[in-house]
Amino acid sequence: MSERAPAARIGVPTRTARIGVDVGGTFTDLVLHDPRRDLVHTGKLLTTPGDPSAAIIAGVVRLLREVGMHPADLHSVVHGTTLIANTIIERTGATVGLLATDGFRDSIEIGRETRYDLYDLFLDPPPTLVPRHRRLEVPERISADGEVLLALDEDAVARAARQLVEQEGCEALAIAFMHSYRAPAHEQRAAAIVRGLYPDLPLSLSAEVAPEIREFERSSTACANAYVQPLMRRYLDRLETLLGKIGFAGRLFVMLSGGGITTVREAKAFPIRLIESGPAAGAMAAAFLARLAGLDRVVSFDMGGTTAKMCLVEDGTPDHKFDFEAGRVRRFQKGSGLPLKVSVVDMIEIGAGGGSLAHVDPGSGLMKVGPRSAGADPGPVCYGRGGTQPTVTDADLVLGRLDPAYFLGGEMTLDPDSVRRAFSGTISVRIGVDVETAALGVQRIVDEMMAAATRMHLAEKGKDPRKYTLIAFGGAGPVHAHNLARLLKVGKVVVPLGAGVASALGFLVAPPATDMVTSYVTRLERADWHHINALFAGMRDRGCQLLSEAGADPARIAYRPSAEMRHVGQGFEIPVPLPGLNLSADDLPGIRAAFFDTYRLRFGRTMEEAPIEVLSWRLGCVAPGLDIRLGREAPADGADPEAARRGSRKVLFETHGWQECAVYDRYKLPVGARFTGPALIEERESTCVVGPDAVVSVDAIRNLVVELR
């Protein structure tokens, strides 16, 4: 990515510049794009965990100063955050109360009455966000068909609200009544009563947050939304205020977990939809880069300072799903977390980042890595900020993968001596090996963890990793990509220019988008198509209004209808694409065929004689994202990489021992350059490590293409 700003082009409108900001657990990454000057510029600095907005403001000011711009020149800032996920994991959210239908206050604690581990007699259930004494019942009842069986007791609503706010000190309320997805009138009336008493109290209505069938999941999502709503309001208000103080007069946008861009207003109303906001940006960046490179089957590999994220990207689109588990009691155990009905990019996330801590398990005597991370404060031992326990980054330094004098382009100097002392004192002596072997063990453990997680993620989808290309980014991704590809038997790795901050690029290329859903349960052959078309019309109007607020042209919004379908009697459904927004009985054969095709792809068989039912109707609303021109260059004459060579360094490889590696300056490598490993290609935010069994070339958009032999 460009390091200096070219001259402005005459006749191009001003205020076109945008900045994407990704706040990670260790680093805050920024990418600035200004089409007026044909400029892409990057930045990276340590995250400020106590106040993430401090690093954002410092990064924006610095980035603009480096390219000679003022905050008033910015059109917009697009932001993603892990604040929501961290709040739920750490249980640091608001004091929340719940209004539930009489007799159903315990539904969020009873859940599905299943055990996530059948053989553990002492397992801990996922703790609810709202304890029983703050869950109050209100007389009312609506049937599954939307019929009012018992009118809402409005006096009971007022009494319950007063008790929760004035006696229990609730900072936010969730309202989740039976079958409100079918008829939300009682929830809406209860909300009006509460707002009449407490106009500024944050409210989360289940029929607005997650208007879908399944009482437990809908109520859980509403409670989680209320739990993080006051915090998110304060955070976004503070961020907007701080941006205004430095002279920013543009708009602040936020990324959704599904990979779309939304407004601050929407983010404040439904913050739970941002729970995977940060990680989703990486997948959107990988999808963008895959389209540019003409790759139709890609595994996105984003390894930062705290976690590693893997996502399947096919035909330029990341996989999506419409449910998510947050705050798991056991990190990788399905069913041990809070179920949420939100649209998310379907990825696997594991505690394997540059800051993941290595330790010797006192019980087994075995070395383990993660999931705990050193984060930004104190950070890895080599940062010299007070860390004492070795991390993955420390191991990479010992093995020669990182240049202690060129970390962050020389902005940070790493301390290899303190790392060796830390390894020797905490790991090497305890397991009886030298420092280099211990560091190699850390690398082996973390790479095997990531490979195993990736294999499982792809296997669950019926995919073979050998048929895919690995796109590697994040500060630690290019360091570990070659070894991960070798373990997965992937033949090609692509590393984009500016890989260390590629997630921030994802914020700029992601389109304004949202997903709408309404539950209406019906047998397919008995469907009321007039009612279904009315549902789609309402979702289309709401989606168009929201995306228009986010700056989209209503005429260019694309609508993608689908339905959650299953055979009658089955417990779970699958998403099936629909042929249009105006459906009729004439579409039945095509809808049935689409269901069987999807079912066969998922389960390898069909049951064409079994009746089909639909539970929910979905509408994806997507406007075109802004295109960032990374440029295509013809190969330079000769394309000799030697001009980019800056020396050599010894690196320890597990399969080849110590090897003398050529070190290249990433910014000086010409398009068309080709060379063999072992090699190190260094840029400001990351280092690409290439083993002896690979050939490297630089493609037309300056990607490194590593082919394993």
Give me the residue spans of the domains in the chain: 17-87+234-274, 91-224, 279-319+351-510, 513-622, 641-708
Paired with 695 in beta bridges are 676, 707
pLDDT digits (tens, 9 = 90+) for 474-510: 999 999 999 999 999 999 999 999 999 998 999 999 8
Query: How much is the mean pLDDT over the chain?
Result: 90
Could you tell me the CATH superfamily of domain 17-87+234-274?
A: ATPase, nucleotide binding domain (3.30.420.40)
Q: What is the pLDDT of residue 635?
A: 66
Of 379, 422, 377, nearest to 398 by C-alpha is: 422
Q: What is the pLDDT of residue 57?
A: 95
Q: Under CATH, to which class is 279-319+351-510 assigned?
A: alpha beta
Residue 567 predicted with pLDDT over 90: yes
- What is the phi/psi pair of residue 458, to 5°? -75, -35
Task: Please give the distance of CA 490 from its chain centroid, rounded to a whole number.
Answer: 24
Q: What is the pLDDT of residue 594?
A: 95
Q: What is the pLDDT of residue 1?
A: 47
The CATH number of domain 91-224, selected from 3.30.1370, 1.10.10, 3.40.50, 3.30.70: 3.40.50
- Beta-carbon contacts of 56 under 8 Å, excluding residues fewer than 6 positions away, are 21, 23, 28, 79, 239, 242
Top-confidence residue, 488 or 606: 488
Residue 4 predicted with pLDDT over 70: no
Q: What is the pLDDT of residue 116?
A: 81
Q: What is the pLDDT of residue 8?
A: 35
Of 86, 106, 90, nearest to 98 by C-alpha is: 106
Residue 428 predicted with pLDDT over 60: yes
Give the residue-averaged pLDDT of 114-139.
Answer: 88
Residue 12 predicted with pLDDT over 60: no
Task: Give pTM, 2 decimals.
Answer: 0.88
Give the residue-averaged pLDDT of 666-671.
Answer: 93
Q: Which two tokens stand for residue 182?
A: 């079918």
Residue 10 predicted with pLDDT over 70: no
DSSP 120-166: -TTPPPPPPSS-GGGEEEE--EE-TTS-EEE---HHHHHHHHHIIII
Place of tokens 């044909």: 38
17-87+234-274 and 279-319+351-510 share one fold: yes
Residue 372 predicted with pLDDT over 90: no
| Contact assessment for residue 85 and residue 276, using Cβ atoms and an 8 Å cutoff | yes
- 634 confidence band (pLDDT: 50, 70, 90): low
Place of tokens 């609508």: 559
Q: How far is CA 106 from CA 26, 91, 93, 131, 136, in A?
A: 39, 20, 21, 9, 10
Give the residue-averaged pLDDT of 441-465.
Answer: 92
Strand order in the sheet with 172-176: 135-138, 96-101, 172-176, 203-205
β 338-340/324-326 pair status:
antiparallel
Of 71, 1, 78, nearest to 41 by C-alpha is: 1
